[in-house]
Amino acid sequence: MTHNNRPPDPVLPLSLFPLGLFIALLPLVTIHTTYLISASQGFVDWCIPYFQSCTSISATGRNGLGYFVFKGVMIPTLVLLVFFWWINHRWLRVLGYPQGRYLFLLGLMASVFMLLYTLSLGHGGDAFELLRRIGVSGYVGLTGIAQISLGAALYRARPLWLSRRGKRLLSLSGFTLGVAILSLILDALPGVDYGRMNHSFEWILIVLLNIHGVGVVLSWRQGGLVLDVHTAGQGR
C-alpha cells in the first residue's frame, strides 16, 4: 500500500436546475414545434388541439419535416429522461428514502416504452399501430406511477417546504389521474362521441405530466441540488 499525500481535487458544484428544466420542457417544445411544422406543410389542420381535438400528437410527427424533427429530438430526450429519474432516485436516497431506487427503474421502463412509440411512428399497418398504443400507454402509466411515488416521498420529507412541494406534486398527480379516468369513462359511455375528443385528452395528459417535471426541478432549485464535478488540480 502506498500513501498519497496529494491534496484532493477541487470540487466544482454545478446546479442541476438548468439541465432539469431543459429536460422537463424539451418534450413540450418538441411536440408543439412538430405540430407547427406539420400544420404549415398541410399534414394536419390548424387549430388549438387542446380544445378542438383536431389532431393527435402522433400525427404531428408522422410526415414531412415533422417526422425527422420528432424522432431526431425525442430519442435523445428519452436518454435525458432516464438521467432525470436517476437524479430523483439519488435525491431520495440522500433524503433517507431507500425506495427511491424504484424511481430509476420506472423512469427507465417508461423511456423504453416511449422509444417503442417513437420508432414505430410514421409506419402504417395494424402492427405498428398496436406498438404505438402499447408504447404511449406504458409511458404514461409508468411515468404517472413514478411521479406519484416521488410526490409521496417528498410529502413525508422534512423540512416543511419540501413536504409542501410534495403535497403540490401529489395534488397535480391526482388531477392528472382524474383526467385519465374521465377519458376512460367517456370512452365507455354509450352515446358519447369520444372519437371527437380523444386527441384533446392526449394533449392535456402529456402536458400535465411535463408540468409535473417542471415542479420537480423547481424543488431541485429550492433545495440547492448540485452535481459535484471534481476538477484536476494544478500541476497534474
Mean pLDDT by 10 residues, the chain (236 residues): 48 83 95 95 92 89 92 94 94 79 91 93 83 91 94 88 93 95 89 82 94 95 77 51
Q: What is the pLDDT of residue 140?
A: 92
Note the pLDDT tens digit of each residue in 78-122: 999 999 999 999 988 888 876 677 899 999 999 999 999 999 988
Q: What is the pLDDT of residue 203?
A: 93
State whether the Cα torsion 193-135-180-67 is positive or negative.
Answer: negative
Q: What is the pLDDT of residue 192?
A: 78
The verdict on pTM exceeding 0.85 is: yes
Q: What is the pLDDT of residue 102?
A: 85
Q: What is the pLDDT of residue 25?
A: 95
Who's near 37: CB < 8 A, 6+ residues apart?
Answer: 60, 64, 65, 66, 69
Assign 4 to helix, strand or coil: coil
Are the C-beta atoms of residues 181 and 205 closer than 8 Å to each other? Answer: no
End-to-end CA distance of the chain: 21
Are the C-beta atoms of residues 95 and 153 closer than 8 Å to each other? Answer: yes
Note the pLDDT tens digit of each residue in 186-206: 888 887 788 778 889 999 999
Q: Which three cell numbers stand for residue 218?
A: 423547481
Q: What is the pLDDT of residue 94?
A: 84
Are the C-beta atoms of residues 106 and 146 closer than 8 Å to each other? Answer: yes
Give which of 94, 62, 76, 63 is closest to 23, Cα–Cα. 76
The amino acid present at 19, given as its one-letter code, is L
Who's near 38: CB < 8 A, 6+ residues apart?
Answer: 44, 55, 59, 60, 61, 62, 63, 64, 66
